[in-house]
Structure 1
Amino acid sequence: MNAVTQAESSQLMSPEGLAATLQSVQIDGQLDGLLLRMTTRQNYKNTRKTNLEAVYTFPLPWGATLLGLNAEIDGHRLQGTVMEKKQATQRYEKAIDEGDTPIMVERSARGLYTANLGNLKPGEEAVIEIEYAQLLRFEQGQIRITVPTTVGPRYGDAHKKGGLAPHESVSANVLAEYPLNVKITLTGEVALAAVQCPSHAVAMSRLEDSLVVTLKQGGFLDRDFVLLLQGLQGQSFASVSPDGEGFAVLASFCPTLPDQTQEPVLLKILVDCSGSMGGDSIAAARRALHDVMKELSDQDWISYSRFGSEVSHELPGLQPCNTATIRQMAKLVDNTEADLGGTEMNAALISTFELGMSKGLKALFTKSETPSHSKDVLLITDGDIWHVEAVIQAAKHSGHRIFAIGVGSAPAESLLREVAEQSGGACELVSPNQDVADVIVRMFRRMRSTRCTQVKLDWGQPVLWQSTLPTTLYGGDTLHLCARLAQAPQLPPTLTWVANEVAMQVAAPQLQNQSTELLPRLVVSRQIEQLARDTEQEKQTLELALKYQLVTDQTNLILVHVREQDKKAEGLPELAKVNHMLAAGWGGVGSVAEHKGSAVCCSSIAYDEIMYSARHSAPDYSSMSMPTLWRSRASEAAARVEALSSSDMDDFEIPAFLRKQPDDPVPTPLVKKLLSPKPRKIAPGPVATPLTLLETFETTAQKALAPMRFVRRLQALNLPADLVSMLEELTVILGTGAKAWAVVLQWLAERLSDQITLSRQSERLLRQVLKDEDAALLQELKATWADKMDALMNAQQTAGQPSQQWATRSERDLTV
């Protein structure tokens, strides 16, 4: 398959049969030392016949700081500003209502951000430009640049557990294709490194003292873009920059530790064998496990567990690494498959933490002796889960160091890095075409490294704030620490620790002075991340985020393109969620492993083979354990018609070609149903509860932004007689039933806000229905109606009977 041009990509279809909105992405970056600055340009085009609101949830690397938002619309270039989240959302919605085009970028979850582009008119194009910076690390002679481009399907509920809003989505579609172009410039000493690219075919060119890396033939948003910079010697740096009346300092240390300890490694191996690990990922896991056995000595102790929907301890308890154990392990590894269903990582980790010592190991430690180090867990996974906070907390309090290896073309780096950081372990990612043996060697070097205690950092003066110091140091791995000082430092900060009862230290050779705003923003970003763990610091974190223009859980980036009066967008925009490309090789869908004989840095994989395989073995994302049958467009269309036939037809307009059938004298049952002028009769059933009304309205509003649609659906419910009377009274006052229902629904949404949150599409629809009404009149009506509704909801309770109809909480656990 040749690279898809922008014109061709505009005709790619979403699952709803509508042309894709995201056209392509260009990424341009520069690495100077360990500071990586990136600019991502997302190109959008409305190829439909209605106004659109494009919503694209995209990943950023772990530890990245989002710096800015710019946009190009209708020949105008605009710059965004950071506002408090509620105010930014109100400004965004106000622009939608007024027919202008707002753009808002918000933090959705760990490592995920969402770009919202409202009121893009038919035929219009827009470019959203996002800037971010990231501090990279030396990792025992190597620097890894990872640019995530897609999000693999994750186990669990993206909204309940992952924190995504109703309008946000990272759903994958095997039909989606988004062209990608990448250009990264390496400057200074890093330009002298040996550069490999295990993810893409790249071209390299030298310009004076820099090295420019670009994609050879373009790519797609279906895998991480990875560069490995090898042959580098770790160095320590220190930089200072004015920060208002004080100073911001960044210290990057690369310590050297004594020779490795000879103490036994107590290693619990836990391998993800869920459906998402099929294909390349589980193959990489097996290779890694075989390399693990090469690193074990006869004094080490291991256990082996696999997990998916459940955990299976196949080598339970820590066993001695003798010949019999290694042979048993080899057989277990050879039989390891991605056949355990879902990804219950938290339960698997807790169960693995609880594995005890075997009798032989207990005998090594008498009652007066304890091992001088904690047990270690080697976790091999793609990290594709939504319930990440529970996993991070379990790791933090486990008493185990977690050494995580992320496998696949798009592993969830933010989860794996955080789990490793919080437990005092380490994390490395392995691309399908990367040599996993080197990764295992580095991991065991860390596991066997000398334990460090009494880690301290001398900034030369009292600090206003500083980073939390680590409990563990690893030789050759960079450690970034920040501080805010009242006075300008005179000397570089010094890191000290004790190893093997010997005091050691490291410091940067000099203190580099900077005068840009970037360093203070990076330092404050670290401070906010640290303070955010304390809910009592919300006020301070918000003030810092606004002052330094940083996107956090409390702030958004926003800009508004104010249109001329005759160019205002009319009506409500149709929501267009941008589907992700399915991560290459995910769940065994195709393969991105290179053919034998191809270069490590230049994968010779045939992209058309991958896409063909992907499109003919699309997995069931909900089960994550087995593929579904590929259905052709004809069968998809037939399925949609069948769905129309079996559903409530009030939701659909009658297509023009079905209104008259001159060539078909005997209409089919479906056509008869569509042409029937009689309304569909619905059995009364139980009396609708307040939550039922809101749920029904929300469901209808997601399908069509037409007032009469939700009115017909609500009035088909079995409504309490008193509510019907109230609606009739409001209809007389306001003139239409839609306005009467809008007042009722707005009040109910406010009254039950602790149980249900309407999507912003639903809220817009209610505002549009009531936009011509006087605000004071609406408030008066709501207040008057509220007393009557409260009386209705409490009537049965007053009579001493539990309210089954209008209680304030439904028997069902509803989340919209």
Structure 2
Amino acid sequence: MNPSTDVSHPAPMSCLRSSEGRPVPLLGVSLSGDVMGGAARLVVRQRYRNEERRPIEAIYTFPLPSEASIAGFAMECAGRRLEGEVKEREEAFRAYDEAISTGHGAALLDEERRNVFTASVGNLLPGEETVVEVAFVQALKADEGALRLMVPTLVAPRYIPGAPQGDRTGHGVQEPTDAVPDADRISPEIARVDYGITVDIVFDLGREVAIESPSHAIEVRREEGHRQRVSLRNDRAALDRDIVLLAAGAPGVQAGLVCDRRPGEEGTFALTVVPDLFDAKRAAARRDVVFVVDVSGSMQGESIDQAKRALRLCLRHLAEGDRFGVIAFSNDFRAMEPALAPFTQRTLERADAFVAGLAAHGGTEMLGPLLAAAGMLGDAERDRLIVLLTDGQVGNEAEIVDSVAEAGKGVRVYTFGIGTNVSELLVNDLARRTQGAAELIHPGERIDEKVTAQFARATAVRVAGVTARFEGVDVGELAPAEPPALVDGEPWVLHGRYGAPGVGRLQLRGSLRGESFYLEVPVELAAEASRPGLEALWAGARVRELEESERGLSGKRAEAMHKRIVELAVRHRVASKHASFVVIERRTGERRAHGQPEARPVPVSAPAGWGMSSRPVAPMAAFAAMAAPMAG
């Protein structure tokens, strides 16, 4: 008998149900993999089961780290494992849709944002389980003496600016707007959910390290050599906060070159420079700093307290001769003073009083205050900084980053991502585009160390206008194509491709305190070397950079860039907003479904520590609360 019409498979009444009373098809999520040599290779496995009497399509919107490269997609069903392939986004959807329409099984992975993805599992049969597997690689950063791994688990509610406009193409609770046309694809329903996540990650860093977590209670088991296996103490946790793991005592980022190449094929390299630019005789530059703090509704609870504490610490890192301003924003914004104030004991006390009176409510209209802050920083003879404190939960990230980078030329933005569910896409991109730096602060982490580290970067000696030129070796497609500034003590990384092995040198030139700077780095590109994940890291970084460039193009140039991005993603098997993973399960006999499956969007948990989730509230009411105007 065809399972799609077999009424002898009643839907259990005890399973988790959505707000519409239907069973939720997601049973649970697992995170596994290893951390070696400053990089993580991880796999997210999502287990689905159909508890209904007819085939369904499970649709789950979930996050991944914005700096990760998605390097694999697979489906396990009916005792078989099927590997996915990368196709142009519309082509992938057509292949998926055709398979579903003709009774076969299929899974699709679409990128909505660099940190938001949608998995669709079509024709999930009654009583059957299917596992979807997403593999990704991520370079890790040293964070105050510890290697930091952060994996988000929840696409949290975010503020959607703009007026309603456009047709729906997703299943989210928000409507598309003129500012965020894909709002319905990045706003899953919030509900009380029962599924959770398990963790099994092996750290092998070549030395003894102390692994701890400010986000979860963990168990660490020592294995052979320096291997340490990390799991959750309670086996399973809610998907309501970022997973943060810190490996204290891990080796710092080392200068040098690593390669990945098979004989006769094109290779990939990553070159790391840790510049020593310290000059004890250098006089400290006079700074103009505007602090911009998010006091919107999503910052309610512990986040606003952390932001206020961090801001007070930031103020105490100013020095005589500095000038500063403070802007708080939600649905509107207000400044402590209309212009920059000299840093004195009196103005510090006035700033402390301003900060003490801040409370979280309203929407997250972030662009206006950031542009106002850039407008206050007009003196190009001084060091000009914006310090942003936020959870980053907005829907118009690209607009904010592009506008601030254009309006604030010469202004560096230093960001603090605060809370249990930081949208680090905005936090990282805004810092990177403006040559600043980002810090993430999860509840339980030491805020004073984070603030000290940020201001050390902000005041460090730097080489601007860096150019990179290779001699003696033929390299191509560098990522980033425009090298960032060299900052004293901060790792500077360049990825690229090469066709033939060889020995040469990299020449770095720039401007250091108004004088010419030159650094020569020896380069040896290996004929044969293995560095798993390196090609995906390069391809992901290159794709992200091209997508960013595409936003400023139109007409034939935009079409050519779109084609280039798709070709790159398909060739190197990485995800892109223009290229999706798809996998098809060809079925025969009774396993072949009939008719169109009904869509079952998977609801998600409310964020941990989110003030609006501390009392019963309907999802749309919560969003309405976020849009309330700012008082004062």
TM band (smaller chain): 0.7 to 0.9
Q: Secondary structure at the match of 2:324?
A: strand
Q: CA deviation at 1:51?
A: 1.6
**Cα deviation per residue 1:377-400 (whole Å; 9 max; x = unaligned)?**
100011111011110101221222
What's 2:347 paired with?
A: 325
Query: Are the equivalent residues in 1 in contact too, given 2:507–2:518 (CA < 8 A)?
Result: no
Query: Are the equivalent residues in 1 in contact too, given 2:65–2:115 (CA < 8 A)?
Result: yes
Please show how residues 283-682 of structure 1 align to structure 2 within 5 Å: 283-339=305-361, 341-355=362-376, 371-373=381-383, 375-397=384-406, 398-399=408-409, 400-460=411-471, 461-467=473-479, 468-490=481-503, 493=506, 495=508, 497-500=510-513, 501=515, 503=517, 505=519, 507=521, 514-515=529-530, 518-532=533-547, 533-534=549-550, 535=558, 536-587=560-611, 589=613, 613=614, 615=616, 620-625=621-626
Distance in 1 between residues matched to 2:314 and 2:425, nearest whole Å: 24
Distance in 1 between residues matched to 2:53 and 2:31, nearest whole Å: 30
Query: Are the equivalent residues in 2 in contact too, given 1:29–1:38 (CA < 8 A)?
Result: yes
Distance in 2 between residues matched to 1:224 and 1:517, nearest whole Å: 26
Distance in 2 between residues matched to 1:504 and 1:138, nearest whole Å: 26
Report the AA paired with residue 224 of structure 1: D
**Cα deviation per residue 1:458-494 (whole Å; 9 max; x = unaligned)?**
4333433222234423333323211222331325756
CA gap 1:131/1:442 in 2 versus in 1, 3 angstroms: same
Distance in 1 between residues matched to 2:505 and 2:142, nearest whole Å: 19
Distance in 2 between residues matched to 1:154 and 1:273, nearest whole Å: 14
**Cα deviation per residue 1:418-474 (whole Å; 9 max; x = unaligned)?**
111111111111001111111110111111112313523343334332222344233
Report the AA paired with residue 229 of structure 2: V
What's 1:604 paired with?
A: none
Distance in 1 between residues matched to 2:451 and 2:13, nearest whole Å: 41
1:123 pairs with one of 123, 127, 135 = 127
Distance in 2 between residues matched to 1:618 and 1:80, nearest whole Å: 34
1:44 pairs with one of 27, 48, 65 = 48
Q: CA deviation at 1:59?
A: 0.8
**Cα deviation per residue 1:65-93 (whole Å; 9 max; x = unaligned)?**
11111111122211111122222211111
Q: CA deviation at 1:250?
A: 1.3
TM-score, length of structure 1 as denominator length: 0.67
Query: Are the equivalent residues in 2 in contact too, given 1:303–1:317 (CA < 8 A)?
Result: yes
Distance in 1 between residues matched to 2:314 and 2:565, nearest whole Å: 43
2:216 pairs with one of 183, 197, 200 = 200
The answer to whether 1:233 aligns with 2:252 is yes
2:204 pairs with one of 145, 163, 187 = 187
Gaps of 5+ in 1: 1-6, 363-369, 590-612, 628-816
Distance in 1 between residues matched to 2:215 and 2:254, nearest whole Å: 27
Q: CA deviation at 1:152?
A: 1.4
Q: Secondary structure at the match of 1:188?
A: coil
Report the AA paired with residue 247 of structure 1: G
CA gap 1:395/1:140 in 2 versus in 1, 3 angstroms: farther
Report the AA paired with residue 433 of structure 2: Q
Report the AA paired with residue 557 of structure 1: F
CA gap 1:275/1:423 in 2 versus in 1, 3 angstroms: same
Query: Are the equivalent residues in 2 in contact too, given 1:291–1:440 (CA < 8 A)?
Result: yes
Deviates more, 1:316-325 or 1:249-258: 249-258
Query: Are the equivalent residues in 2 in contact too, given 1:406–1:413 (CA < 8 A)?
Result: yes
Distance in 2 between residues matched to 1:420 and 1:496, nearest whole Å: 22
Query: Are the equivalent residues in 2 in contact too, given 1:270–1:304 (CA < 8 A)?
Result: yes
Distance in 1 between residues matched to 2:465 and 2:190, nearest whole Å: 51
Query: Are the equivalent residues in 1 in contact too, given 2:190–2:605 (CA < 8 A)?
Result: yes
Distance in 1 between residues matched to 2:573 and 2:252, nearest whole Å: 35
What's 1:249 paired with?
A: 269
Report the AA paired with residue 473 of structure 1: L
User: Where is the helix percentage greater, Structure 1 or Structure 2?
Assistant: 1
CA gap 1:169/1:619 in 2 versus in 1, 3 angstroms: closer
Fraction of identical pairs, as percent: 28
**Cα deviation per residue 1:582-638 (whole Å; 9 max; x = unaligned)?**
11012353xxxxxxxxxxxxxxxxxxxxxxx455898833224499xxxxxxxxxxx
2:299 pairs with one of 254, 277, 286 = 277
Distance in 1 between residues matched to 2:619 and 2:569, nearest whole Å: 42
Query: Are the equivalent residues in 2 in contact too, given 1:108–1:114 (CA < 8 A)?
Result: yes
**Cα deviation per residue 1:668-704 (whole Å; 9 max; x = unaligned)?**
xxxxxxxxxxxxxxxxxxxxxxxxxxxxxxxxxxxxx
Please show how residues 620-769 of structure 1 align to structure 2 within 5 Å: 620-625=621-626
Q: CA deviation at 1:16?
A: 0.8
1:221 pairs with one of 228, 239, 243 = 239
What's 1:745 paired with?
A: none
Q: CA deviation at 1:130?
A: 0.9
Query: Are the equivalent residues in 2 in contact too, given 1:138–1:477 (CA < 8 A)?
Result: no
Q: Secondary structure at the match of 2:87?
A: strand
User: Where is the strand percentage greater, Structure 1 or Structure 2?
Assistant: 2
Gaps of 5+ in 2: 1-10, 161-173, 551-557
Distance in 2 between residues matched to 1:567 and 1:473, nearest whole Å: 59
Q: Secondary structure at the match of 2:624?
A: coil
Query: Are the equivalent residues in 2 in contact too, given 1:101–1:560 (CA < 8 A)?
Result: yes
Distance in 2 between residues matched to 1:614 and 1:203, nearest whole Å: 32
**Cα deviation per residue 1:252-274 (whole Å; 9 max; x = unaligned)?**
23323314751122110100111
Higher relative contact order (CA 8 A, sep 6+): 2
Distance in 2 between residues matched to 1:481 and 1:132, nearest whole Å: 20
Query: Are the equivalent residues in 2 in contact too, given 1:13–1:175 (CA < 8 A)?
Result: no
Report the AA paired with residue 182 of structure 2: L
Q: Secondary structure at the match of 1:383?
A: coil
Report the AA paired with residue 228 of structure 2: L
Query: Are the equivalent residues in 2 in contact too, given 1:273–1:336 (CA < 8 A)?
Result: yes
Q: Secondary structure at the match of 1:192?
A: coil
Distance in 1 between residues matched to 2:199 and 2:347, nearest whole Å: 47
Name the Cα RMSD after superposition: 2.7
Query: Are the equivalent residues in 2 in contact too, given 1:269–1:304 (CA < 8 A)?
Result: yes
Report the AA paired with residue 41 of structure 1: R
Q: CA deviation at 1:523?
A: 1.9
Distance in 2 between residues matched to 1:185 and 1:509, nearest whole Å: 32
Q: CA deviation at 1:132?
A: 0.6
Larger of the two Rg values belongs to structure: 1
Distance in 2 between residues matched to 1:518 and 1:343, nearest whole Å: 37
CA gap 1:498/1:276 in 2 versus in 1, 3 angstroms: same
Distance in 2 between residues matched to 1:143 and 1:50, nearest whole Å: 47
The answer to whether 1:170 aligns with 2:183 is no
Query: Are the equivalent residues in 2 in contact too, given 1:56–1:169 (CA < 8 A)?
Result: no
Query: Are the equivalent residues in 1 in contact too, given 2:277–2:462 (CA < 8 A)?
Result: no
Distance in 1 between residues matched to 2:95 and 2:21, nearest whole Å: 32
